[in-house]
Amino acid sequence: MRLISFGPAAMAVLLLSGCASFGGSAGDVGAGKLTWFSYVNGEDLRAQCSADGPDRYRLIHNAKPLGQLRTYEVHGQGDGEGGQGGSGGAVVEAREIAAADLSRQHPEDALEGGGSGPSRLILSAEQFQWLIRGLSDSGVFDAPLDGFHLRSDGVFWLASGCHDGAYFLTAFSNPSERFESIGGRLTR
């Protein structure tokens, strides 16, 4: 599968929309509003991350030039102590966000897919463990390499979340061996 760049214009829209916020309500004390920047950074996941909470991952991939952004939310559904590490299964929510939607819609509308909503997949405990191993083997739970630069006009994966009670944030840029590692593991 050949992956192509997201495009500078769509990236600019994403960055400019970073000032727009969504989530929370005026009466919801402590519930911060989520912006595009905080969504990409996984700040909501960091705020909820705890040793006794379930694993949660957010993977963002810019899939097509001026075409779309793909997001994958993985929520552990643990049946054991805190639901960590995939002791139970998981729910995966996948969204494709058209670049045009990033500029025409409020961020929450773009994340909801313009009314169609996300696609959901239930993973068994075994499938969730396979996903966690693939992410771990790809270096998702590790920090980005020293000197790493993410090109705004390149193809990339961003990953954030809470794994075994620890928050992580990393990125993979194409071309790189690290990018091929995560892309190959997640698209098989």
> Phi and psi at residue 40, in whole multiples of 5°?
-65, -35
pLDDT in tens, 17-27: 333 344 443 33
* Predicted pLDDT at 137: 87
pLDDT digits (tens, 9 = 90+) for 120-152: 999 999 999 999 998 898 888 887 666 666 666
How many other C-beta atoms lie within 10 A of the C-beta of residue 165?
14
Dist CA 24 CA 104 (whole Å): 21
Q: Would you give the DSSP letter of residue 154?
A: S
Cβ-contact 67, 3 below 8 angstroms: no
Q: In CATH, which of 2.40.160, 3.30.530, 2.170.220, 3.30.1560 is domain 34-186?
A: 3.30.1560
Nearest alpha-carbon partner for 98 in 83, 75, 115: 115
Domain ranges of the chain: 34-186
Q: Give pTM, 2 decimals.
A: 0.69
